[in-house]
Structure 1
């Protein structure tokens, strides 16, 4: 699994996290470390791009729920974009589609900030 984090050229206070591969018990820790690094830098406006994620486990869901709580507690947000159908289905089954702001693409997420 690969994780890349960078700021948005259009809105420098918004950071984009691109993930590629599976988010499961073996890889969720890496995502959590990247999110923790953003938290330590007081970055609270985050877009997570799931375009290249083909699976997420309950451990992965927990990582994002934790990040959602701290970003919103600091008047920020964690927006999810480009969910592939099977990953979106997992979010729906967990009831997370009601919690997260899920958008079709990065542009929509940037505009929502």
Structure 2
């Protein structure tokens, strides 16, 4: 089975989820649980760091669509950072850059919350 895990770190009022491995239908619930945990704790400023993500499927992409509305309703956002070209191309193909801000680095995404 493909490996996938997340780590969470806080920087002020911003939550950073680091993804590692393969995000697909089997592993998507791990990320869903992380988003639910943040939302339940009223944490709506979220940066997702893709630096160590090797693969994402449509089920993985669906996780982001499932939570963006709830986060934005609460004056927050989900910003995406550090994608490999391979992962970015999948997001781009499905029009995600129109819906999400995608940054080269985690630091850029974090800075955007304070503008």
1:6 aligns with 2:9: yes
CA deviation vs aligned residue, 1:47-83 (integer Å, no higher than 9, x gap): 0000010111111111011222111111100000001
User: Secondary structure of 2:78's match?
Assistant: strand
Root-mean-square deviation (CA), in Å? 0.8
Task: Give the unaligned 5+ runs of structure 1.
Answer: none
Match of 1:110, SS state, is: helix
State how far apart, in whole Å, the 1-side matches of 2:69 and 2:8 are: 20
For residues 9-67 of structure 1, give each alpha carbon's deviation from its aligned partner in whole angstroms, at most 9, with x where no partner exists: xxx10010001001001100100011111010010000000001011111111101122
SS in 2 for 1:97: helix
SS at match of 1:75: coil
What's the secondary structure of 1:22's corresponding residue?
strand
Number of aligned residue pairs: 110
Name segments (4+ residues, structure 1) moved above 2 Å. none
TM-score of the superposed pair, with normalisation by structure 2? 0.92
Aligned pairs for 1:23-34 within 5 A: 23-34=23-34
3-state SS of paired residue (1:55): strand
Aligned to 1:80: 80
Distance 2:69 2:26 in 1: 23
Q: How does 1:86-97 map to 2 (within 5 A)?
A: 86-97=86-97
Aligned partner of residue 34 in structure 2, secondary structure: helix
TM-score under structure 1 length normalisation: 0.94
